[in-house]
């Protein structure tokens, strides 16, 4: 993982994951060094990612008071249990649905939970964090937030995009990525992560974008995009086109076998595979 300083109070714990045929997906967690320090998400659920080491380079885990879980997908909860053990005073900010989803794998201790719904706010000592539902989301438990002191919007998966290279995926500025690749990646991610957007009424969907225009954050921090300052109008205009974007269709079994065949010395599909017929 890499650590990126956004401002005096906010750091990105930046990781990435290669998705064959798609690109390199940024996977970010964040540290907000408020009077009551906040960790936002806890990284990938894969071994050896170094989340706790990266976190420790930014803040002493024992000082962490809040863990904001934007939603309980496995790329957001990797080190949650370990962090709860290392941060004995920390409470997990999530929703009733988030607690329910987590209970199917490893239940959260209820005395460590703080339930916060979209539209509600929480003071963390020197600033207020206001929860909101991003326009695009892939979990009913998704809750982003706006920090009124830094004017930073933490948007969860919304605005994400696979990057053309691993270096760009863990970079410190989304502006380093080619603009065309960034826009194409954001629309692609919208259709992968929130396929329901194609069934949404465009006018109704635009109304969900308007609150972010009014928010006008100084920086957008997405779980799946390098830090983005000064891109509000561009991102929001593009977001409004998502209902009309081409739906994502993933590889089928024939495509998988063709891909696997490329790894065989003789160019043949591995033994035990079956060719689909049409």
Query: Does a structural domain hold residue 98?
Result: yes
Residue 143 pLDDT level (bands cut at 50, 70, 90): very high
pLDDT of residue 273: 41
Cβ atoms of 31 and 61 closer than 8 Å: no
pLDDT at 277 > cutoff 90: no
Q: For the whole model, what pTM was predicted? A: 0.92
pLDDT digits (tens, 9 = 90+) for 40-65: 999 999 999 999 999 999 999 999 99
pLDDT at 265 > cutoff 70: no
Query: Does a structural domain hold residue 266?
Result: no
Query: Does a structural domain hold residue 227?
Result: yes
Tokens 């982003």 locate to: 144
pLDDT of residue 274: 41
Query: Does a structural domain hold residue 271?
Result: no
Mean pLDDT, range 106-134, rounded to an integer: 97
Query: Does a structural domain hold residue 274?
Result: no
Residue 20 pLDDT level (bands cut at 50, 70, 90): confident
Q: How far apart are CA 103 and CA 15, in angstroms?
A: 26
Paired with 102 in beta bridges are none
Count of the separate structural domains present in the chain: 1
Q: How far apart are CA 219 and CA 230, in angstroms?
A: 7
- Calculate what percentage of the chain has a pLDDT beyond 90: 90
Distances (CA, A) of 198 to 63, 67, 242: 43, 33, 7
Distances (CA, A) of 271 to 103, 262, 266: 40, 13, 12
pLDDT of residue 275: 40
**What SS3 state is found at 97?**
helix
Nearest one of 240, 259, 274, 248 to 189, comparing CA atoms: 248
Least confident of 10-19, 26-35, 255-264: 255-264
Query: Does a structural domain hold residue 117?
Result: yes
Which residue range is the domain that position 170 belongs to? 2-261
Mean pLDDT, range 94-110, rounded to an integer: 96
Query: Does a structural domain hold residue 278?
Result: no
Nearest one of 29, 34, 128 to 76, comparing CA atoms: 29
Query: Does a structural domain hold residue 273?
Result: no
pLDDT of residue 221: 98
Cβ atoms of 1 and 51 closer than 8 Å: yes
Average predicted confidence (pLDDT) for the chain = 94
Which CATH number belongs to the domain containing residue 202 in this structure?
3.60.15.10
């Amino acid at each position: 993982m890499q650590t990126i300083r956004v401002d005096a109070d906010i750091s990105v714990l930046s990781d990435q994951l290669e998705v064959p045929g798609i690109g390199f997906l940024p996977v970010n967690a964040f540290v907000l060094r408020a009077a009551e320090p906040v960790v936002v998400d806890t990284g990938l659920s894969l071994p050896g990612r170094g989340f706790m080491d990266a976190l420790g380079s930014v803040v002493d885990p024992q000082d962490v008071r809040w863990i904001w879980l934007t939603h309980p997908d496995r790329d957001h909860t990797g080190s949650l249990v370990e962090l709860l053990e290392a941060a004995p005073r920390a409470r997990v900010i999530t929703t009733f649905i988030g607690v329910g989803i987590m209970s199917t794998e490893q239940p959260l201790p209820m005395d460590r939970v703080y339930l916060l719904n979209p539209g509600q706010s929480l003071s963390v000592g020197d600033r207020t964090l206001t929860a909101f539902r991003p326009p695009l989301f892939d979990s009913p438990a998704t809750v982003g937030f706006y920090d009124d002191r830094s004017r930073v919007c933490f948007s969860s998966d919304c605005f994400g995009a696979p990057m053309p290279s691993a270096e760009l995926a863990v970079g410190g500025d989304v502006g380093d990525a080619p603009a065309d690749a960034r826009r194409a990646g954001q629309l692609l991610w919208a259709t992968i992560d929130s396929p329901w957007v194609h069934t949404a009424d465009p006018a109704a969907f635009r109304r969900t974008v308007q609150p972010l225009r009014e928010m006008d954050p100084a920086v957008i921090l997405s779980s799946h995009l390098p830090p983005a300052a000064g891109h509000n109008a561009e991102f929001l205009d593009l977001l409004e086109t998502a209902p009309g974007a081409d739906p994502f269709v993933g590889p089928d079994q024939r495509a998988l076998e063709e891909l696997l065949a490329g790894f065989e010395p003789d160019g043949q599909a591995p033994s035990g595979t079956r060719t689909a017929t049409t």
